[in-house]
Amino acid sequence: MYNYSANTQYIGKQFLYLTTCHSTNDLAKTLNSSGLCKSGMVIFAENQTKGRGQQGTSWVSEPGQNLTFSIVLRLSQLPLASQFLFNKALSIHLLGFFRTYFSNPPDTFHIKWPNDVYLNGKKIAGLLLENSLSRGYISSSVVGIGLNVNQQTFEFPTASSLSIAFHRTIDRYELLNSLLQYLDENLSLNFESLNTAEIQTIHKVYDATLWGLHQQRWYQAAADPFIATLKGVDEQGLLILETNEGIERFEIKSVQFLNHPVD
């Protein structure tokens, strides 16, 4: 059983530990909309019976082996247009945490667009951001985080865990405490007060850590697979690829990375 012991000012000050629940994101949304939680509250479950992933997929995680939790964040009037900026900021902080915690060469961990964390080319973490809107602004967000920590086998060949990569069992609760502390120290929620230079830094850091950046890879959109070079992600969150036709932009889910390399 986890005892909350992270030394944070904000994130995780309220902490709900559950052995099981349907989805921590669903529960966090209910608590948030009923006003029953403070901003920064963390809802953690050892097991989710209906864990959800991006784009209506499910998130399957072996009970007691990984970390599955959600953080409720109230934001003061984040413009809708900054939605992807918020996604970028969270992604780079999650990545920054892994790079710091495991103090590995920086190119082992990457962000796979839009917000997965890849380790040595395999997915070890995913983010599910669910924003609430009020009068044209994002007033709050439930940030669902799924980390593959000690699980040893996966249904999909593109998924892996920290334990597989580092050949050892990881202390999940120590990892969680450190992650909450890192987010507490690094994640600014005053997005409306970020200046242009700070915003540009978020875009730049996100692009620089993208998995597959400047590499030629196979992609699949509506028709046949094609080879393209990843150039970056624009401010709206569209993937920028250079193909034989020139520069093209793709929306989330309209294009897929294929795993086999270009010969």
Q: Which residues bind ligand BTN (CB under 6 A)?
A: 23-25, 48, 51-54, 57, 59, 68-70, 116, 126-128, 144-146
**Strand locations in the chain, DSSP E?**
15-21, 42-48, 67-79, 109-112, 116-119, 122-134, 137-147, 216-220, 225-233, 239-243, 246-250, 256-261
Residue closer to ligand BTN by CB (options 53, 242) is 53
Q: How far is the CB of 24 from ligand BTN (least distance, A)?
A: 4
Residue closer to ligand BTN by CB (options 94, 145) is 145
Dist. CA 102–CA 165, nearest whole Å: 11
Q: Which of 112, 134, 154, 127 is nearest to 69 (CA)?
A: 127
| CB closest to ligand BTN, residue no | 126
Task: Check if the beta carbon of residue 157 is closer than 8 Å to that of residue 72.
Answer: no
Q: How far is the CB of 174 from ligand BTN (least distance, A)?
A: 19
Q: How far is the CB of 193 from ligand BTN (least distance, A)?
A: 28
- How many Cβ atoms sit within 10 Å of the Cβ of residue 139? 15
Q: How far is the CB of 109 from ligand BTN (least distance, A)?
A: 15
Residue closer to ligand BTN by CB (options 227, 252) is 252
Residue closer to ligand BTN by CB (options 40, 51) is 51
Q: How far is the CB of 130 from ligand BTN (least distance, A)?
A: 9
Residue closer to ligand BTN by CB (options 16, 145) is 145
Helix pair 196-208, 83-101: axis angle to 10 deg: 60
Peptide bond into 114 cis (omega under 30): yes
Q: Which of 254, 255, 173 is nearest to 212 (CA)?
A: 255
Q: How far is the CB of 262 from ligand BTN (least distance, A)?
A: 25
Residue closer to ligand BTN by CB (options 8, 68) is 68
Phi-psi region of 101 (alpha: psi -120 to 50; beta: other; left: phi over 0): alpha
